[in-house]
Structure 1
Amino acid sequence: MIGHLRNLTRLITIARVLARHDALFPLERLGVAKPAVWIAKAASRRNVPGRPGEKLAAAFGELGPSFIKLGQALSTRADLMGEEVAADLSNLQDSLPPFPFEDVRRTVETELDRPLESAFSVFDPVPVAAASIAQVHFAITAPDAEGHTREVAVKVLRPGVEEAFRRDIDLLFWLSRLVEFAQPQWRRLRPVENARAFEESVVIEMDLRFEAAAACELAENFADDPTFRVPAIDWQRTGRRIMTQERVRGLRIDEPDKLIAAGLDPRVLVGNAANAFFSMVFRDGFFHADLHPGNMFVDAEGVLVAVDFGIMGRIDRQTRRYLGEMLLGFLTGNYRRAAEVHFEAGWVPADKSVEGFTQACRSIAEPIMGRPLNEISVARLLGQLFQVTETFDMQAQPQLLLLQKSMLVTEGVGRTLAPDVNMWELSRPLIESWMADNLGPQARLADGMKTLSDSVGRLPRLLESAENLLGGMDKGGFRLHPETVKALRGNRGPLSGVITVAPWLIAIVLGVLLFLKES
């Protein structure tokens, strides 16, 4: 009861801020906690100029760190918020006034368990960036045993930010459960599951060791790529609330005039960016999900350098194959295959019409694919596809929504650098190579054999469970004919060899049939 009252009180406060900005429409659309919405309307003025998304972004900015992050998460949900509102939320500035240097010093010394001056010979007290969760300072490390120092960037969490997020995430879960209970039509969007995904992403962002680990993993994935790199992490000066990494010097990727003046070719940079992003998603299944222009630089040698690894996405191998087949179907005009993949992946319920979904796919793709090559947006194709979810009860796929948003941002960067170029066309050789390696017969055979191997690996557990079941047959309950029981227990007789070998034969036959079906 106390929790309900606390959440309701907090909701009324939030609703009043939304009402001041004339941005109550999300709560009105949810149709829950109507008394809180009514009180907010009565107590606050309305009729604020601007688009709904702009008003909501302004309200989230006033509500602070939790809601800035929530707004950025909702910017990936065009299916939920509408394309215009989602686009406005994507422009939500993740910036707040800096917090005092005394708090920075306290955090650094607590996390490193030593005086700041013993870790850094120079530490600029003025931050170069102050966001909702943390701020960044430039520094120079203290000399090591050989007298060497390094220029670094130090990221420090805001004081009290964890407590603020915890309070608002509790409210988000409370609202999500209310929505699922009171509005059954919203359940296909899985509000509670999406709240949990948001919580997990925030928890990771709140522990800077996780961000440092993500940077290291991405660096390993691109260790042999001369066109893309990740700043080195200084683990000796990294903890839960502080992360130290190599300082990046270079130009922002969205400054084409400066890049050209530096002797760099924007077309080459666009191609390198497309190849890097495609490799992250399809080769590795681990991608930077916040590659806006402020997080991508170009060094003096023309190498792309990414920063800020708090938001990362993962896609498993099977989903990558589904996604690859779906995109291949769209790009080749095979809309039937693009539709079938959605059913095979379980994204669309089996009781829906494949023909109807094929028609929907065609209606989305034809206007886009019929445009000049440089105007084709794969990200917009995915975004419009997700908008038909309600008609076909397609369940929300958070990882694909995050991917679509990331692709949209990456395409935006590409168009800024070279407006007449389609970045995915530049990476076409890489895409075709990946598809040949992963969607061809040999890849299907390899996947079929892996499935077979996994099935065989589970056989001992299945047989053990069967033995336990058979061991209890004589005690009543589930009964079989005595001769059947003898055979299953492995008693000598004509059936014993067949029973022993049968599971292996079945597994092999299923594996072969699966391969022949897919081929």
Structure 2
Amino acid sequence: MTQYPSVAPDHKLGSTTLTRYDAKAIAKHYRWRPWQSLWRAFTIIWLFGWFSFKLWLDSKREEEPETRARRANELREILTRLGPTFIKVGQALSTRPDLIRPDFLEELIKLQDQLPSFDNEIAFAIIEKDLGRPVDDIYQEISPHPVAAASLAQVYRARLYSGEEVAVKVQRPKLLPLLTLDLYLMRLGASLFAPYLPLNLGHDLTLIVDEFGTKLFEEIDYINEGRNAEKFAANFRDDPTVKVPAIYWEYTSHRLLTLEWIQGYKLNELDRIRAAGLDPDKIIEIGVTTGLRQLLEHGFFHADPHPGNLFATFDGRMAYIDFGMMDQLDNTTKETIASSVVQLINQDYQTLAKDFVELGFLAPKTDIRPIIPALEKVLGKAVGESVGDFNFKTITDEFSALMYEYPFRVPAKFALIIRSLVTQEGLALSLNPDFKIVEISYPYVSRRLLTAETPELRRKLLEVLFKDGKFQWHRLENMLAIAQADNQFDILPTAQMGFQYLMSEEGAEIRRMILLALTEDDRLHTEEVQRLWALLKDEFQPQKLLGAAWSNLRQFSGKRLTAVLPSFAQSRS
């Protein structure tokens, strides 16, 4: 069992020690220090106001390339000057080439690891204080200057006396006052100005700020980050395409993290990736698939997947190196998200509206009837005539119009999910401007639903396949055809699992529904069955089929067969 360091984090806010985000304690602190919050608010308004005025002046005259470059540099400098909170906003924007003009994008990318560093003496003093010995006694060698500086920390390259090459992540000093003041102002602004924003979010904006604050406090606790890394590695231990660095706990504290050094290329270094003989499209596929697995299988997902945190290794794997901002989903949420994707592609807006209620985007007692036509109008346009036209950024933009007119809200947890998805799609677009997330995600989601490993997922599959009591043959055909595009999908184990479920007590209702579906409308649906067989017959090779049948027969006792037969008979009576 891992022995985690026990040194308490140095989270002092005045006379209060904060070990986790506490909005009330932060508000109480700054309420008695109005000069601090007023000056900070004035600084933010002045910097962005003056910048916006200069952009307005530029729009009134013909812009020169030098002017555009100067404005992009000014924006990066403003975000850097305002500190960690605003740097993180810039990092998120740097992954959206479809949102940010190229000259701004080029500057914002520098916020991922090209930030001003703090003094080496301060960094080494933190190392020595937390580990209790001189730096020269800890590391055989360490870079004389940081190799990267991020919003919350800077990183050194070092070698342990045992020979391992490591990254040493040292937190910026006096970080807490900067973060808490910005969080206080953001929360105050959210409560004051939410009713005037062009989105119907209401009080939930403060919940989103609170969620962000909670995650930010978790992110500055490196013991928590180390635990997250080990949990993430355990989730992907059987996936040869994912690399997670090992944590060296003996050299780690709440302000200091020592982890395995990763050799590779940042995902925005497209030329270097290609020069190394790696396929960018394959890297995209790994990134999107692992992102979906985080959300829909493990429920434990990386909420900050910007290019500074993701690498393509020399052997073509995807390496994650930062686990400060993570979140956990329950099973019901995971399965409902999967269902929502399928309902959206199938353009079943009635069921999609029900999923929105289940996810918390609509209150439980909301009358969804007037919302369904609006969903069809707005989301139908976003999806387009084919699934290949699907774009998550387009969906979020079109959805904003609905939130203004109808009682939609953004649950606090989904702020991080949306950020993660938009960031991943933007990252993929930087590698391939023609990338369509649905080409990878929909086959994966279809496979997840068809395998239906949990009761919640089986319930969602039934909701997809049965509508108004009728079996949707075309949906099953589409899901099977699309799932077959996923190289990891094998129909035989799926069919075997489905047979076992069908013959179980839990499958009694589905047996009845299938028999009714085969004979609904007073005809035998042999045509639909033949189409399914034509789609799948190549998968059912005789040897594999006999092996699966024998396995099922051994598991299926005569006693269970006796119990099942009456339910088949009753379904036709």
* TM-score in same-fold range (> 0.5): yes
Correspondence list, 1:441-456, <5 A: 443-444=457-458
- Aligned counterpart, 2:111: 93
Letter in 2 for 1:290: D
Cα pair distance change 1:16/1:291, threshold 3 Å: closer
**Is 1:361 matched with 2:361?**
no
Structure 1 counterpart of 2:314, from 283, 290, 300: 300
Q: Does structure 1 retain, via aligned residues, the 8 Å contact 2:154–2:172?
A: yes
Offset from partner CA, 1:457-503 (integer Å, 9 cap, x none): xxxxxxxxxxxxxxxxxxxxxxxxxxxxxxxxxxxxxxxxxxxxxxx
Task: Name the structure 1 match of 2:224.
Answer: 210
Using the size of structure 2 for normalisation, the TM-score is 0.64
Give 1:472's aligned residue: none
TM-score by length of 1: 0.70
Secondary structure, aligned partner of 1:340? helix
> Residue 4 of structure 1: which of 3, 26, 31 is its match?
31
Which residue is 1:15 aligned to?
42
Match of 1:219 in 2: 233
Match of 1:467 in 2: none
- Distance across 2 between alignment mates of 1:174 and 1:419: 39
Which of 258, 283, 292 is residue 297 of structure 2 equivalent to?
283
- Distance in 2, matches of 1:398 and 1:244, equals 32
Give the aligned residue type for 1:136: V
2: CA distance, partners of 1:326 / 1:442: 13
Residues 1:119 and 2:138 aligned together: yes
The answer on whether the counterparts of 1:14 and 1:63 sit within 8 Å (CA) in structure 2 is no
Equivalent residue letter for 1:139? A
Query: After superposition, where does 1:219-298 map in structure 2 within 5 Å?
Result: 219-298=233-312
Equivalent in the alignment of 1:38: none
Amino acid at match of 2:80: G
Taking the aligned partners of 1:257 and 1:92, their CA distance within structure 2 comes to 17
Contiguous gaps of at least 5 residues in structure 2: 1-27, 60-67, 463-507, 518-573
Query: Which residue of the other structure, out of 384, 387, 395, is the alignment partner of 1:370?
Result: 384
1:112-511 mapped onto 2 (5 Å cutoff): 112-143=131-162, 149-176=163-190, 178=192, 188-350=202-364, 352-370=366-384, 375-438=389-452, 443-444=457-458
Q: Is the 8 A contact 1:172 1:195 kept in 2?
A: yes
Check the 8 A contact 2:362/2:409 in 1, yes or no. Answer: yes
Partner of 1:21, secondary structure, is helix
Amino acid aligned to 1:135: Q
Once the two structures are aligned, what percentage of the paired residues are identical? 27
Deviations 1:316-371 (A, max 9, x none): 21112222222111111212211221123342135544232222222232223226
Question: Which amino acid letter does the alignment assign opposite residue 93 of structure 1?
Answer: L
Does structure 1 conserve the Cα–Cα contact (< 8 Å) formed by 2:148 and 2:155?
yes
Where 1:355 maps in the other structure, the secondary structure is: coil
Q: What are the superposed Cα offsets for residues 76-107 of structure 1, whole Å, 9 maximum, x if unpaired?
A: 9xxxxxx889x989869255311111011100
Give me the whole-angstrom Cα distance separating, in 2, the residues matched to 1:298 and 1:435: 30
Mapped partners of 1:290, 1:223: distance in 2? 21
Q: Is the 8 A contact 1:68 1:92 kept in 2?
A: no
Deviation at residue 62 of structure 1 after TM alignment: 2.3
Match of 1:317, as an amino acid?
Answer: N
Secondary structure of 2:217's partner? Answer: helix
Query: The residue matched to 1:390 in structure 2 has which SS?
Result: helix
Q: Which residue of 2 aligns with 1:503?
A: none
Worse-matched range after superposition: 333-342 or 395-404: 395-404
Aligned partner of 1:61 in structure 2 is 80
Q: Matches of 1:209 and 1:441 in 2, distance apart? A: 35
Q: State how far apart, in whole Å, the 2-side matches of 1:135 and 1:117 are.
A: 19
Counterpart-to-counterpart distance in 2, 1:217 and 1:210: 11
- Tell me how far 1:71 sits from its aligned partner: 6.2
The whole-number CA distance in structure 1 between the counterparts of 2:111 and 2:193 is: 28
Letter in 2 for 1:64: G
Letter in 1 for 2:111: Q
Alpha-carbon distance in 2 for matches of 1:402, 1:433: 25
Question: How much has 1:121 moved relative to structure 2?
Answer: 0.5
Between stretches 267-276 and 363-372, larger displacement belongs to 363-372
| 178 and 105 in structure 1: CA distance in 2 versus 1, 3 angstrom threshold | same
Cα shift at 1:220: 0.6
Offset of residue 131 of structure 1: 1.8
How is 1:11-90 mapped onto 2 (pairs within 5 angstroms)? Answer: 11-22=38-49, 49=58, 59-69=78-88
Q: What residue identity is the alignment partner of 1:415? A: L
Structure 1 distance, partners of 2:82, 2:171, is: 18
- What SS does the aligned partner of 1:156 have? strand
How far apart are the structure 2 equivalents of 1:10 and 1:48?
Answer: 30
After superposition, the Cα gap between the structure-2 partners of 1:317 and 1:158, relative to the gap in structure 1 and judged at 3 Å, is same
Question: Counterparts of 1:332 and 1:193 in 2: how far apart (Å)?
Answer: 32
Which whole-Å deviations, capped at 9, do the CAs of 1:162-183 have from their partners, x for residues lacking one? 2322343344444455558999
Distance (whole Å) between structure 1 residues aligned to residue 215 and residue 379 of structure 2: 32
Q: SS of 1:297's equivalent?
A: strand
Cα distance, 1:284 vs structure 2? 0.6
- Cα pair distance change 1:20/1:293, threshold 3 Å: closer
Q: Which amino acid aligns with 2:352?
A: A
Letter in 2 for 1:265: D
Amino acid across the alignment from 1:138: R
Aligned-partner residue type, residue 212 of structure 2: F
Is the Cα–Cα contact under 8 Å of residues 348 and 392 in structure 1 kept in the other structure? no
Cα deviation 1:9-66 (Å, max 9, x = unaligned): 52244324422431699xxxxxxxxxxxxxxxxxx99966589999887644322224
Q: Distance in 2 between matches of 1:245 and 1:444?
A: 40
Q: Aligned Cα RMSD in Å? A: 4.1
* Aligned-partner Cα distance in 2 for 1:333–1:197: 32
1:93 is paired with a residue whose SS is helix
| Superposition deviation, residue 435 in structure 1 | 1.6
Counterpart code for 2:409: Q
CA contact (8 A) 2:311 2:319 kept: yes
Name the amino acid aligned to 2:34.
N
Match of 2:526 in 1: none
Aligned to 1:495: none
The CA deviation at 1:444 is 4.5
Do 1:227 and 1:304's aligned partners in 2 also have CA atoms closer than 8 Å? Answer: yes
Unaligned runs of 5+ in 1: 26-43, 77-82, 144-148, 449-511
Aligned residue for 1:389, secondary structure, equals helix
Larger mean CA deviation between 290-299 and 60-69 belongs to 60-69
Q: Write the letter of the residue equivalent to 2:150.
A: A
| Residues in 2 aligned to 1:303 and 1:255: alpha-carbon distance in whole angstroms | 15
